[in-house]
Amino acid sequence: MQAQRIVIVGGGFGGAFAARYLKRYAPPGTEIELINSTNYFVFQPLLPEVASGALMLPEATSGNSGWKTK
Ligand SMILES: Cc1cc2nc3c(=O)[nH]c(=O)nc-3n(C[C@H](O)[C@H](O)[C@H](O)COP(=O)(O)OP(=O)(O)OC[C@H]3O[C@@H](n4cnc5c(N)ncnc54)[C@H](O)[C@@H]3O)c2cc1C
């Protein structure tokens, strides 16, 4: 059988967790590509703390250098 390629556009909660799930459960050899407009993940529930100055923005984000950006 030919290898499958899955492209996920958007690396927010939905896309990042879909990619993580597929990486674990997709058939071996499946290529999973996650495309996001940035190379970092924003943990949105912490944004009010960033807006109030209780946290700095890097504390609410995590880098994902392996992501393809568009
Ligand atoms: C301040 C705040 C607090 C929240 N608190 C909670 C909470 O406590 N509990 C809870 O369950 N939910 C919370 N939410 C809601 C939750 O964050 C969203 O429901 C969730 O992020 C939606 O996930 P998503 O993957 O659909 O979109 P997003 O997480 O917004 O991801 C979309 C991604 O697509 C990327 N993108 C956009 N356009 C393009 C493009 N053209 N090409 C490539 N990439 C693109 C963006 O960069 C982004 O990474 C909160 C939201 C906010 C704003």
pLDDT value for 68: 61
Tokens found for residue 56? 């700095």
Which residues touch 43 (CB under 8 Å, ≥6 apart)?
Answer: 60, 61, 62
Asked whether the predicted pLDDT for residue 63 surpasses 90, the reply is: no
SS3 of residue 24 by DSSP: helix
Q: What's the predicted TM-score (pTM) here?
A: 0.84
CA of 12 relative to ligand 1 center, distance in Å: 5
pLDDT value for 39: 87
Query: Cβ < 6 Å from ligand 1: which residues?
Result: 9-15, 35-38, 44-45, 47-48, 70
Query: CB 2: neighbour CB atoms within 10 A?
Result: 5
User: What confidence tier does 67 reach under pLDDT thresholds 50, 70, 90?
Assistant: low
Q: Whose CA is nearest to atom 31 of ligand 1?
A: 12
Instruction: Report the atom number in ligand 1 closest to the C-alpha of 13.
Output: 25
Q: Could you report the per-residue pLDDT of 12-44, keeping only the tens digit for each? A: 999 999 999 999 999 999 999 999 999 888 999
